[in-house]
Amino acid sequence: MASGFFAILDDIATLMDDVAVTTKLATRKTAGILGDDLAVNAEKATGFLADRELPVLWAITKGSFINKLIIVPVAILLNVFFPIAIKVILVLGGCYLAYEGVEKVVEFLFHSKKPTHAVIEESHSDEGIAEKAKIKSAILTDFILSAEIVIIALGTVLEKELIIQIITVSAVAFLATIGVYGLVAIIIRMDDAGHKLVRTSGGNGFIYFIGNLLIKGLPLVIKLLSIVGTVALVLVAGGIFIHNIGYLHHILPDLPSIIRELGAGLVIGLVIVIVFKGGKSVFNKLSST
């Protein structure tokens, strides 16, 4: 009886060792997409009134957890019973990311646009509508990025037992959410930390300098994250297209992968934007006549 109990403990210890190794490998494989995830979500979680930043971020974080609760079991089941569906889902998600990224570029180049925080502060009703819309957009984008993270993590353990696949992918999904949104929370509260340092510094000294640096640095960080987040959307989308569409995978193979992925994301995103905007314009004209 005792020997059977210790044998079970030994099996559990062996399993945990295997999971630790596979989780480390999967986390390393997903590091690039996690960086893109951070840039995209940090940009989406900013631009709100100061007292709404953390509640909005918490709403997005809860949505991210729900996304992963859906994605992890679905990805594992599809991989077992219908693996081709994973590629289809990834490509469709890539289309959305490419559209969103290229649309931002088009809006920046050809349309004047108010700063995000100015739009949100117009009125209480506008603020609530803009906040809900941005949360919804952030959660949808997170869903696609989370699917990419989960599938990459799953790809590192395909030859392992099912239980190791489940635990490894779940661990990576959990760590991704905590890590990404924890860092986003730190970024968006930079100015608050700066104000506290300025108040406690007595108006001079090194602490005062650091406080001012944090206050003045936040707008620059947000602007940089907005740019990086847009580029990340296009790059992630291009990477999905290059790795999952055989025809694109063999186009200009000698070019650096980042150039190919950026090009694929921009071209396909621009096509989607033109089709969507053109279709919307035609529909509006037909409905008005």
User: What confidence tens digit (pLDDT) does each residue in 4-34 have?
Assistant: 544 554 545 555 665 676 776 666 656 556 6
Mean pLDDT of 233-240: 84
- Report how far residue 262's alpha carbon sits from residue 34's, in angstroms, rounded to the nearest whole number: 17
Mean pLDDT of 248-253: 78
Measured over the CA atoms of residue 163, residue 168, residue 169 and residue 174, the dihedral's sign is positive
- Report how far residue 235's alpha carbon sits from residue 280's, in angstroms, rounded to the nearest whole number: 26
pLDDT exceeds cutoff 80 at 42: no
pLDDT band at 145 (very low <50, low <70, confident <90, very high): confident
**φ and ψ of 40, to 5 deg:** -65, -50
Report the share of the chain in percent with pLDDT over 90: 8
- Report how far residue 18's alpha carbon sits from residue 12's, in angstroms, rounded to the nearest whole number: 10
Q: Which residues contact 96 (CB under 8 A, 6 or more apart)?
A: 140, 141, 144
Tell me what pLDDT residue 125 has: 55
Tell me what pLDDT residue 116 has: 45
Name the least confident of 30-39, 140-149, 255-264: 30-39
- Predicted model pTM: 0.66
- Which is more confidently placed, 30 or 185? 185
